[in-house]
Amino acid sequence: MPQFEAHRRVAHTPEQMFALVADVESYPQFLPLCEALTVRSRKERDGRTLLVADMSIGYKAIRETFTTQVLLKPGEKAIDVKYIDGPFKYLSNAWRFEPADGGCNVCFFIDYEFKSRILGAVMGAMFDRAFRMFSEAFEKRADVIYGATPAA
């Protein structure tokens, strides 16, 4: 039911932004609400990487952990996330990194629904705000890692 989509132009290459988003273990260092992230498994095949990861999110007194399957497709500059288990009825997330003059366009999409209406009511508005901050958080992280200068 709730969906969020963002298109953001950044001054970094598609390869840089892909690598940054693919580095899921670093999320707790900079991503809003993310308190922990553990990769359960990692499989490489045909130039792609399939991860199964647990992400713990928190807001005030509420803590939830959910499991997703993350498919990293570096050749396509794409990342697809599928929900496995946790507090959601469903969750689907996609990232695309498209070349643009002086950097790239980062396309972020998420569609989700909580299993519990109560949890949805409590966390829903906060999640909406967090997703709006995600794009900015990744861009700021890219500036820290790669520098705030335009991509070469």
pLDDT per residue as tens, the chain (152 positions)? 678 888 999 999 999 999 999 999 999 999 988 999 999 999 999 999 999 999 998 877 888 899 999 999 999 999 999 999 999 999 999 999 999 998 999 999 999 888 888 777 777 677 777 777 887 899 999 999 998 765 55
pTM surpassing 0.75? Answer: yes
Q: Is residue 151 part of a domain?
A: no
Q: Tokens for 61? A: 């007194």
Structural domain boundaries, residue 63: 3-146
Q: Is residue 117 part of a domain?
A: yes
Q: Is residue 152 part of a domain?
A: no
CA-based nearest residue to 134, from 8, 36, 39, 50: 8
Q: Are 22 and 42 in contact (CB under 8 A)?
A: no
- 62-73, strands of its sheet edge to edge: 3-10, 103-114, 88-100, 78-85, 62-73, 48-59, 34-45
Q: Is residue 39 part of a domain?
A: yes
Measuring CA to CA, how many Å separate 137 from each of 40, 122, 144? 24, 23, 11
Q: Is residue 128 part of a domain?
A: yes
Number of domains in the chain: 1
pLDDT at 150: 55
Q: Indicate which CATH number applies to the domain containing 78.
A: 3.30.530.20
Cα 144 to chain center, whole Å? 18
pLDDT at 149: 64
Beta 78-85 vs 62-73: how paired, if at all? antiparallel
* Distant-in-sequence, close-in-space partners of 129: CB < 8 Å, separation ≥ 6: none
